[in-house]
């Protein structure tokens, strides 16, 4: 199940029209709050919405959209504006009180370059570090955090006068990765905000944000994208139709995840899942083992895409068997789905879906791939039941 990466796949589409319009209207009317907390699931462009709003706030003549021509907009094309400050997880918790590492400026410059080109890029400076030293290794092993030192630098910058624009904007990406002590340090700024500074925080896990911080920010809640929106975005980015359909179905509303799935060979992935299901149904022991061995030749195959594809295919089969009028996950596979439900009229598709879900959990917990797949094949065989006679 080889993958062919599509280098340079970039999705520019943002969606979230209602939230973006509300933010822009507040800025145009001079009613923008001093702090916003933009929350929602992973990979839906919270940082992209925050940066777009920052462009509106910093533009010299913007009403609801940046003009694109003033000195501020020109500097914002590469996100190198002196009054746009980005803060992202940058260091190990053990380094919480120390200044940024010597690689920090280069990492932040690289992050700005990536974000200006791709609004859905992962905002973790540890992943961008070119260093192989102990500090870089510790950041990757312990997980990057926004540290107390980062909050203190933010406080210092926020109380200074803007360098070029009328105000300064601070975008705190992945604020839910901010250490508790760093959030407490940020409270001073939220309680006594300078007139010339606006804070934009993004978070996937609201529970990781202190109540005292949440209560001092204007909430902006974003929802995951629909499969239709994902398909449109991927299609506009030049992804071929089959991969677009598959990626949208597997994405769970997460554009970043959809882009990752779009780099797979859709037909190869689909064929592997369908063949595994067919082999499990007839349960010829040597064929099952042969198929499992074939899949495991590719070290990247056992991932959530394979298991989710099986579950969604079985879900379509369940709706087909029950004759429910629900839009299928894979319209292009309707013929195969109909054939499966007709061939196994006594199938318990919910039991089959549960078997795949259980296998996915076992694999995530570190169980041996061969055992997980073999056990799943046995359970699928039992769930599908006997084949209908011709």
> Angle 180-191/148-158 helices, nearest 10 degrees?
20
Among all chains, which residue has been given the structure tokens 């592997």? 272
User: 238 or 390: which carries more pLDDT confidence?
Assistant: 238
pLDDT of residue 96: 56
Res 390 pLDDT > 90: no
C-alpha–C-alpha distance, residues 268 and 256, integer Å: 21
In a domain, 42, yes or no: yes
Q: In terms of domains, do 207 and 284 share one?
A: no
pLDDT of residue 6: 41
296 falls in which pLDDT band (50, 70, 90)? confident
In a domain, 4, yes or no: no
Name the nearest CA neighbour of 265 among 237, 249, 242, 248: 242
Res 203 pLDDT > 60: yes
In a domain, 343, yes or no: yes
pLDDT of residue 207: 94
Res 169 pLDDT > 90: yes
Res 310 pLDDT > 90: no
Q: In terms of domains, do 60 and 202 share one?
A: yes
Q: In terms of domains, do 310 and 189 share one?
A: no
Among all chains, which residue has been given the structure tokens 């360098």? 163
pLDDT of residue 323: 83
Domain with 349, as residue range(s), is: 266-384
Percent of the chain, pLDDT > 70? 84
Res 93 pLDDT > 70: no
pLDDT of residue 215: 95
In a domain, 229, yes or no: no
Name the nearest CA neighbour of 266 among 284, 282, 250, 287: 250
pLDDT of residue 157: 92
Q: In terms of domains, do 209 and 281 share one?
A: no
User: 341 or 220: which carries more pLDDT confidence?
Assistant: 220
C-alpha–C-alpha distance, residues 237 and 232, integer Å: 9
Q: What is the CATH number of the domain that holds 160?
A: 3.40.50.300
Find out whether 213 and 33 touch, Cβ atoms under 8 Å: no
Q: In terms of domains, do 217 and 288 share one?
A: no
Find out whether 50 and 44 touch, Cβ atoms under 8 Å: no
Find out whether 95 and 115 touch, Cβ atoms under 8 Å: no
Burial class (CB in 10 A: 0-12, 13-18, 19+), 217: buried
pTM for this structure? 0.74
Out of 65-79, 110-124, 286-300, 365-379, least confident range: 286-300
Cα-based distances in Å from 66 to 50, 56, 57, 77, 170: 14, 5, 8, 11, 17
C-alpha–C-alpha distance, residues 45 and 32, integer Å: 21
Q: In terms of domains, do 201 and 278 share one?
A: no
Q: What is the CATH number of the domain that holds 378?
A: 1.20.272
C-alpha–C-alpha distance, residues 90 and 181, integer Å: 15
Res 348 pLDDT > 70: yes
User: 225 or 331: which carries more pLDDT confidence?
Assistant: 225
Going by the DSSP 8-state scheme, the letter that residue 53 receives in this structure is: H
Average pLDDT over residues 197-207: 95
As a whole number, the mean pLDDT across the chain is: 82
Q: In terms of domains, do 190 and 309 share one?
A: no
Q: In terms of domains, do 273 and 167 share one?
A: no
Name the nearest CA neighbour of 228 among 265, 256, 253: 253
pLDDT of residue 130: 47
308 falls in which pLDDT band (50, 70, 90)? confident
Strand-pairing partners, residue 171, are 86, 200
pLDDT of residue 322: 85
User: 155 or 298: which carries more pLDDT confidence?
Assistant: 155
Q: Which of 194, 221, 248 is the last residue of a domain?
A: 221
Number of domains the chain contains: 2
C-alpha–C-alpha distance, residues 313 and 372, integer Å: 19
85 falls in which pLDDT band (50, 70, 90)? very high
Q: In terms of domains, do 125 and 211 share one?
A: yes
In a domain, 6, yes or no: no
Can you list the alpha helix ranges (DSSP code H) found in 255-348?
A: 255-262, 266-282, 285-296, 304-322, 334-343
213 falls in which pLDDT band (50, 70, 90)? very high
User: 85 or 329: which carries more pLDDT confidence?
Assistant: 85
Res 299 pLDDT > 70: no
Going by the DSSP 8-state scheme, the letter that residue 201 receives in this structure is: E
pLDDT of residue 131: 45
pLDDT of residue 388: 85
Residue 79: phi and psi, rounded to 5, are 60, 25
């Amino acid at each position: 199940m080889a993958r062919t990466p599509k280098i340079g796949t970039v999705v520019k589409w943002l969606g979230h029209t209602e939230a973006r319009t509300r933010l822009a209207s507040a800025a145009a009317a001079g009613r923008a709050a001093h702090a916003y907390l933009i929350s929602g699931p992973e990979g839906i462009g919270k940082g992209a919405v925050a940066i777009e709003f920052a462009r509106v706030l910093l533009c010299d003549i913007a009403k609801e959209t940046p003009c694109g021509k003033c000195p501020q907009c020109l500097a914002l094309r590469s996100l190198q504006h002196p009054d746009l400050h980005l803060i992202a997880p940058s260091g190990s918790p053990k380094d919480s009180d120390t200044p940024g590492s010597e690689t920090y400026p280069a990492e932040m410059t690289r992050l700005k370059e990536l974000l200006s080109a791709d609004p859905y890029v992962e905002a973790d400076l540890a992943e961008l570090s070119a260093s192989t030293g102990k500090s870089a290794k510790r950041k990757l092993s312990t997980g990057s955090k926004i540290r107390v030192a980062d909050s203190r630098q933010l406080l210092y910058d926020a109380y200074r006068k803007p360098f070029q624009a009328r105000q300064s904007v601070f975008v705190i990406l992945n604020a839910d990765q901010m250490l508790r002590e760093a959030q407490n340090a940020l409270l001073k700024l939220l309680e006594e905000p300078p007139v010339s500074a606006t804070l934009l925080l993004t978070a996937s896990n609201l529970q990781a944000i202190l109540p005292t911080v949440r209560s001092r920010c204007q909430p902006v809640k974003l929802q995951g994208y629909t499969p239709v929106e994902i398909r449109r975005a991927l299609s506009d980015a030049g992804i071929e139709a089959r991969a677009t359909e598959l990626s949208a179905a597997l994405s769970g509303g997460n554009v970043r995840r959809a882009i990752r799935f779009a780099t797979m060979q859709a037909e190869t992935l689909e064929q592997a899942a369908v063949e595994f299901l067919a082999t499990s149904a007839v349960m010829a022991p040597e064929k099952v083992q042969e198929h499992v061995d074939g899949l495991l030749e590719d070290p990247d195959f056992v991932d959530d895409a394979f298991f989710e594809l099986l579950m969604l295919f079985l879900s379509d089969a369940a709706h087909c068997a029950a004759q429910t009028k629900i839009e299928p996950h894979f319209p292009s596979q309707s013929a195969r789905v109909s054939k499966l439900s007709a061939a196994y009229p006594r199938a318990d598709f919910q039991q089959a879906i549960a078997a795949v879900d259980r296998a996915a959990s076992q694999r995530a917990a570190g169980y041996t791939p061969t055992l997980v797949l073999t056990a799943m094949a046995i359970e699928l065989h039992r769930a599908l039941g006997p084949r209908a006679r011709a």
